[in-house]
Amino acid sequence: MIVSVLPAVAIIAACYVIGSIPTAYLVVKKIKGIDIRTVGSGNVGASNAARVLGKWGFIGVLFVDMMKGFIPVFVIKHFYGEGWIVLIGAVAVIIGHSFTCFLKFKGGKGVATGVGVFLALAPFQLLVAAVIFGIMLAVFQIVSIGSVTAAAFLAVMVWFTSEWDHLRYITVVIALLIIWLHRGNIARMVRGEERRIGKRTP
């Protein structure tokens, strides 16, 4: 289905704004009265929220951030099918999460919202990547290792198993973005300084 320019711009802008809702910032601020950007890694995402709020805070933020990605992409795909607009919308919602306009363009690292996006676009490949994430997390006890590995594996899975050509390219772009957003974590891993799961910030 062809989308004219004005509706397309509106859809992309809406995806960006939805992605920009800073879930972790709002929840941590409401419960603890703390600016999440000043604690832990400073990241506005579920993993950093867990350092302040613990397991249930992590689960709550993770779920909402996933839905930020899933709902708009699922709705666009429902109405427009496998067209370019759904893929651009998917990228926009992840960029919104990672560079939120509500917090001077400092946001999360795109993992939870990316999970929601690919739950709508490539659920089977996402499931396999989730298994890889779980294995890496169990072995290393470091979320960022699991996230980076799963992002790379998802790109490979989609590239070799999806018949939706443009999705292959967009998945590679999103995976590279997520890996780039984890560059600080990767540097800390090299130095042996990356936090393991279960450690809360006082």
Average pLDDT of adjacent 10-residue blocks, the chain of 202 residues: 76 97 95 90 87 89 97 95 94 97 93 97 97 95 93 97 95 97 91 74 48
Decide if 62 is inside a domain: yes
Structural domain containing residue 26: 5-191
> Would you call 198 exposed, middle or buried from its count of C-beta atoms within 10 A (0-12, 13-18, 19+)?
exposed
pLDDT for the residue numbered 2: 55
Decide if 196 is inside a domain: no
pLDDT for the residue numbered 192: 86
Decide if 200 is inside a domain: no
Matching residue, tokens 């001077």: 104
How many domains is the chain built from? 1
Decide if 92 is inside a domain: yes
What is the C-alpha separation between 73 and 92, in angstroms, rounded?
Answer: 10
pLDDT for the residue numbered 194: 83
Contact 98, 23 (CB under 8 A): no
Decide if 90 is inside a domain: yes
What is the C-alpha separation between 47 and 175, in angstroms, rounded?
Answer: 18
pTM of the model: 0.91
Decide if 25 is inside a domain: yes
